[in-house]
Amino acid sequence: MAISTLFHEAPLDVLREHPEVLLELLALAGVKLDVASRPTVTVLESTAIEVVPAHRHADFVAELRDEAGGPVRAIVVLEVQRRPDPDKPRAWIQMVASVLGRHAARVVLVVLAFDEATARWARHPRDEGALVLRPIVLGPRDLPHLASVEEARAHVLLAVLVALARSAEAAARGRRSLSPEAEADVLYAAEAVTELADTQLRQRLASLIEGAAPAEIRARILELLEERGMRSLEIIREEGRTEGRAEGRAEGRVEGEARGRAEGEARTLLKLLRLRGFAVDEATAERILTTTEVATLDRWVERALSARSVDEVLAD
């Protein structure tokens, strides 16, 4: 997964699997909901949102109901925006109009921007005559700094989103390091994640934080993971490559070296899938182990960081 793709997909994966964190984002944005008690959040199929052109669809759509399961109180359309895009506001209007046509409920458009220039661009109202678009924008300055690891533990999913935002902001500005406050956010989030009881969730979120972090701080995250008995993607990958290279050298031929590289990546993938808690049947393991294209195996390894199933990892 390319780093730009990671910055886009990682927050969405957190929201799709744990949609309750959306309520914390809305609270940060100051959105007032017409719900007496804490609402329930249900993710809707975003690809069902009809927009033009057809390949443009909302990143994330969720409905909010009261705890009793009463009528829908609000539909939230959330977009992760990495850079200004002059075509996006019109697509957002189409998305909102489509949701309004389907649901008799208030529609809230939230834009999550990881650098302040993009956030300023997104906040600018768009007047299309009959419609005026004013999205709710959460940029770097709207996300709180974490005061301590205790605060990160209390709001661990929000802490992960904050950590990803700090790393994405540094990348957008071309910086190789983080400010002291941003660095603390990332390290607090990483430490809180390593304490999660759910093994699969712990490994997945830790891999996302590590993969997004600038190189300067990544070594400290790796040390933290190793202290907690966890493995990072790079450690797993290097183990597989080392095993593959050893077998290739034993073959004593160029073809053996190439085969060894592929076998190393295949073993990396199998280890990572097991760490994610996925069950891998014999047929799937055989497919992975007999794949000889290193580029394909690399792509599968990167997907395994955020995929929700083995099928999603191996999709063509």
126, 161: one domain = no
Q: Kindly state whether residues 39 and 129 are assigned to the same domain.
A: yes
Mean pLDDT is highest, among 26-40, 154-168, 255-269, for 154-168
Q: Which residue has the higher pLDDT, 84 or 265?
A: 84
- Note whether 65 and 22 are within 8 A (CB): no
Looking at 41-50, 85-94, 96-105, 154-163, which range is the least confident one?
41-50
Name the percent of the chain lying above pLDDT 70.
83
pLDDT above 90 covers a percentage of the chain that reads 21
pLDDT for residue 19 is more than 50 = yes
- For residues 113 and 47, membership in a common domain is answered with yes
pLDDT tens column, 220-234: 888 787 777 765 555
137 and 250 co-located in one domain: no
107/180 same-domain check:
no
Residue-range definition of the domain harbouring residue 91:
1-142
- pLDDT band at 240; cut points 50, 70, 90: low
β-pairing verdict for 106-113 and 74-81: parallel
SS3 61: strand
Place 275 in a pLDDT band, splitting at 50, 70 and 90.
low
Contact between 187 and 224 under an 8 Å Cβ cutoff? The reply is yes
What is the model's pLDDT at position 309? 85
Among 212, 230, 248, give the residue marking a domain's end. Answer: 230
Please determine, for residue 3, whether its predicted confidence score (pLDDT) is greater than 90: no
pLDDT of amino acid 53: 43
Distance CA 133, CA 96 (A): 10
One domain for residues 242 and 218: no
Domain boundary among 230, 257, 272: 230
Single residue among 207, 230, 253 that ends a domain in this structure: 230
Residue 122 exposed, middle or buried by CB count within 10 Å (0-12, 13-18, 19+): buried
Q: Give the tens place of pLDDT for each residue, 43-91.
A: 986 544 444 444 457 889 999 987 776 777 788 999 999 889 998 988 8
Q: Is the pTM of this model over 0.75?
A: no
Where is pLDDT greater, at 215 or 186?
186
Indicate whether 133 and 38 sit together in one domain.
Answer: yes
Same domain flag for 61 and 151: no
Q: Report the domain count for the chain.
A: 3
| Alpha carbon distances (Å) from 35 to 38, 67, 74 | 7, 9, 9
Residues 28 and 100 in one domain: yes
Mean model confidence pLDDT for the chain: 80
Lowest mean pLDDT among 163-177, 189-203, 242-256, 291-305: 242-256
Q: Both 3 and 124 in a single domain?
A: yes
**Predicted confidence (pLDDT) at residue 93 exceeds the cutoff of 50:** yes
User: Same domain, yes or no, for 126 and 176?
Assistant: no
32 and 133 belong to one structural domain: yes
Q: Kindly give the pairing relationship between strand 126-127 and strand 106-113.
A: unpaired
What pLDDT is stored for residue 257 in this prediction?
A: 54
